[in-house]
Structures are given as C-alpha cells and as structure tokens.
Structure 1
Amino acid sequence: MSISLKYIMMGYREIENKISKSWDEMASAYDKFKSDTFSYSEMIEKPVVMRLLGDISGKAALDLGCGGGDYTVELARRGAKVVGVDISKVSLGIAHKKASMEGQDLELIMGSISDLGFLKGDRFDVVFSSTSMHYVADIENAFRQVRRLLKDGGMFVLSVVHPFYTAQYPLIDYAGADKYAVFQLRYFNHAIREYIPPWSKYIEEGDGRCISYHYTVDDYFNALKDAGFDIDRMVEPRPLPEWKEKYPRRYYEMYNYPLYLIFKCKK
C-alpha cells in the first residue's frame, strides 16, 4: 500500500488529528518565527488584510485558525469583539497569554474549521482566516459554514498561502532523496503534501514535518462562489517599491515569489 493511499483510507479526521499534533509541536516555533523583524506576514500580508477589513470597531469577529493569536489580538485592539478558533491547544495557550498581557477579552475555542457546528449562525459581522485553509480537506464545505455564521451583509476576508507556493510542497508519497531539499512545482496535482516548514529550525522536539492539502487559485475562487459568496476583491500582495533600497533581499524574494492570496467576500 502506498503512503498516499494509506492517508486516503485513513480519512480526513485522522489526517486532521495528525495536523493538530504537528501544530502542538510547532506552535512555539512558529510564534518565534513570525515575531522576526522581517516576518513575511507582518511585511506583506498584514497591511493588505487590515486595509480590506477596514473599520471593525464594535463588530463581532471570528478568527478561524487563529493560531498564536496575532491577528486575534489585533482585531481586538481595533475594537472588535473577537472569537478565535484553532485545532491546536498549544497555539490557543499562546493566544491566551498574548491577550492576557494586553488585557484583551477574547473567546478562544479549540475546534476544527471543517466542522463549525458548535457556533451559532448569523452571529458575526466579520469572519477572518489567515493561512489555514490548506489544512482543510473540503474548502467548499468550510466556506458554506462561514457563510452560515455571517450576518446578512457580513464580510469574509480570507488569506491563504499562495497556490504557487503550496504547489511546491513535496508530495507525501514522493520517496526521492531530494524530497525536502528541492521543491518541484506540481500545480494541478491535488495529492496530499508533506513538508518541512521554515520555522522548523526553532522546534525543540518533533521532526518538524507537516501535512497539508494543495488548492489552485480557481479551487479557492470557485469554492467561494459555489458557497454563495460575492467576491469583492482578490489581492496578491506585493512588496512596497521603497523596500527595494531599504530591504533589497526581502524585496526581491517577495517580488518574484507570490506568498499570499487574499479574498474579500460578502454574504
């Protein structure tokens, strides 16, 4: 039996449990990685996300796949009443610590994006998710649930790891010697991926390997449309021109290599 067939037979619940375990092991390392001065998220993703979200003061917001709570706390800073959901208990602990340090009152729930039945519908003005959907087996189902949770006229801002990037994650059943050394582009191949993330250098225990899915641009776009969303904007964040002189290395990395794809949608 090949590894890929083994994972197909296991079912998405068991794969999700493995992903949850991996994130419990990686949570502290990822938080340290994201706190770097030149964090891709801070420099590239966050400015676009905040512009698309606009004024959220007084609004009920849901952060799906909230991880260590960077965005969850930021939404609270901007005046939103925030609920954060994540499958990693360790990540939620980090988020709770950050919220406590800032005196922010957040509701943090351990749960799966794949099954949001524990949340009541028509509850939120805003749903946000950052770089979590490639861990979800059925994104259209997830988007339908997000739409159920939104009030009429509510907004969904979705940031995903750019499909050009996830297309280079190694296939889980690829056994070549260069499995982790060389990322080969396999854009239309939807096989399960297994990769060693860049924050693995900070991991104290565990092998640092992570399992995920891969979706194309039209997978995301069509799943959002089929779930009933109106797509208002689709953005591929680029580095600011002034970074060419100020941060030349980061500028060329970000300019030549798309890292994020961000959608703004309405119910």
Structure 2
Amino acid sequence: MENKKIHEVNKTYWNMTADDWFGVTALPEYGVQFVTENELHLFGDVTGKTMLEVGCGSGHSLKYHADRNAGELWGLDISQKQLENAQRFLSENNYSPKLICSPMEDECGIPQNYFDIVYSIYAMGWATDLKKVFQRISSYLKKDGIFIFSWKHPLHGCTIVDDGKLVFKKSYFDEEWHSQIVDGMEILLPNRKISTYINALADTGFIVERMIEQTDEKTLQLKEEVDDRSRKAQKLPLSFVFKARKA
C-alpha cells in the first residue's frame, strides 16, 4: 500500500475527529490501562530541556512538560486540525511551542542535533516507514539524547475476549497494513511485532534503556464486574513504552 494513500486516509480521520480526541492519551498517561509517568519517571527532570513531541495531537503532553519547566518545546502532527486545537489550548495556558504540520516521515524543517529529548505518546504506530522515522528522530537528537515512545501492544491487536476467554483472532506475525472503521471513518494501521521496533531502533543507532509492558495496578486488582478490555488487560499488556538513547 502506498504511503501517500495511508497518509491521506489517516490525516482525513484525524482532521475530522480531532475534537473527540482532545486530551485523550496524554502524559502522564502512556496508554490504555497502563502504568503512568508518575510511576515510571522515564523523563526525569526536564528543567531547561529542549524537547520535540512527534504526534503531538491536542498539545496536552506538551503542556505536561511545560508545567515542569521544560525549555524549548516543539510539536509535530499530520493533522492541521489537531495543531489548531493544540495552539489554542497551549495559548490559553500561556505557552507558545513551535508546531509543525507534516507526516513524521518527511523533511519538514526540524533542526538536527538539537533536541535533548524526542518523545511520542501513542502515535508511533502510525508511521508508514518505521526505520525512516527513527532515522529522522535520531538526526533531531543531540548525542546521548533520549527517545521515548508508547504505542498499542501487538498482543492487544491480536486477541479478543470471547465468552470470558482470551482468544487469538489473528497471527502475531501478520504485519500487513489493514483497514479499520473507527467512529464511522476508515483508518489504516499495521500491527508490528515488538522485535520490529527493537530492530528498527538498533538499525538506526539507538540503545534501548528500558522497555515496559505493564498493566496498571488498579486494573490488575479488579475482582468483580470486569469488562472485556479489563479482563484482557489482566492477562496481557495493552500498551508498551520504550526509552532509548542515541549512541
């Protein structure tokens, strides 16, 4: 499937539904029923750090870091509507990050060897060319810069709960792009293996420091009236997060 078609389909979805996703899955949250930054402390002290968010959405994760005295903040997103929402939201909170509308794969004027931290909260799975995106991110980072990203766990995408039992609905090894209907609109996504992310990081000069795949304790402790998603989350991770360093 051509990258241009994938970008067009997914950009249309995000432009049409941006308001519905305002503030959803943003720091300190990394993902669905998942441990948070309040527990993981992957970013540490961001005071004065120069930071770029890839797939910044409505700007809530940018505000999270701005509130913690981060230095210069940049945001990248494929959706102009998302960036309009982010600009309004951040301006209302007296913050003025640099926002760029572009696919994450493309050259778009982001400076090289400039950032202390590049991060992405539940957006990296939309990449059409993962290795190319990681190469770009590496080029944006200073030496020893940090890259943190989260996304849906591939086991989440492979399984369903059927009559209280966890059942595989597709092969873990199937990484083909597929169409889904969400909110009445089409999106296009793959379901990449964990090893695909690890190998792409290694191939682009990153050293993995942490990989977390852990359901939050509140979900794990649920005993009664457990919905299907929580039942699944008690058996396998629904999300993951990587922290890597540019060598």
Shorter-chain TM band: 0.7 to 0.9
| 1:65-91 residue CA offsets vs partner (Å, 9 max, x unmatched) | 111112121111111121010000111
TM-score (norm 2): 0.84
| 1:180-204 residue CA offsets vs partner (Å, 9 max, x unmatched) | xx9822321122122234xx3xxxx
> Where do 1:1-267 residues align within 5 Å?
8=1, 11-31=2-22, 41=31, 44=34, 46-47=36-37, 51-80=41-70, 81-167=72-158, 184-197=169-182, 200=183, 207-240=184-217, 244=221, 249=226, 252-267=231-246
Tell me by how many angstroms 1:265 deviates. 0.5
Instruction: Please state whether the residue corresponding to 2:34 is helix, strand or coil.
Output: helix
More divergent stretch after superposition (210-219 vs 252-261): 252-261
Partner Cα separation in structure 2 for residue 130 and residue 29 of structure 1: 17
Partner Cα separation in structure 2 for residue 134 and residue 121 of structure 1: 23
Residue 86 of structure 1 contacts residue 111 of structure 1 at CA under 8 Å; is this kept in 2? yes
Residue 23 of structure 2 contacts residue 60 of structure 2 at CA under 8 Å; is this kept in 1? no
Instruction: Please state whether the residue corresponding to 1:122 is helix, strand or coil.
Output: coil
TM superposition outliers: structure 1 runs of 4+ over 6 Å:
none
Tell me by how many angstroms 1:57 deviates. 1.0
- Select the structure that is richer in strand: 2
Tell me by how many angstroms 1:245 deviates. 5.5
Residue 168 of structure 1 contacts residue 187 of structure 1 at CA under 8 Å; is this kept in 2? no
TM-score (norm 1): 0.78
* Aligned residues between the structures: 235
Percentage of pairs with the same residue: 26
Query: Which ranges in structure 2 are unaligned for 5 or more consecutive residues?
Result: 161-166
Residue 48 of structure 1 contacts residue 237 of structure 1 at CA under 8 Å; is this kept in 2? no
Tell me by how many angstroms 1:255 deviates. 2.2
Tell me by how many angstroms 1:50 deviates. 6.1
Partner Cα separation in structure 2 for residue 60 and residue 78 of structure 1: 12
Q: Are the structure 2 counterparts of residues 90 and 49 from structure 1 closer, same or farther at C-alpha, using a change threshold of 3 Å? A: farther
Residue 168 of structure 1 contacts residue 186 of structure 1 at CA under 8 Å; is this kept in 2? no
Amino acid in structure 1 at the alignment position of 2:129: D
Amino acid in structure 1 at the alignment position of 2:196: D
Partner Cα separation in structure 2 for residue 40 and residue 158 of structure 1: 8
Partner Cα separation in structure 2 for residue 165 and residue 257 of structure 1: 7
Q: Which residue of 2 aligns with 1:203?
A: none
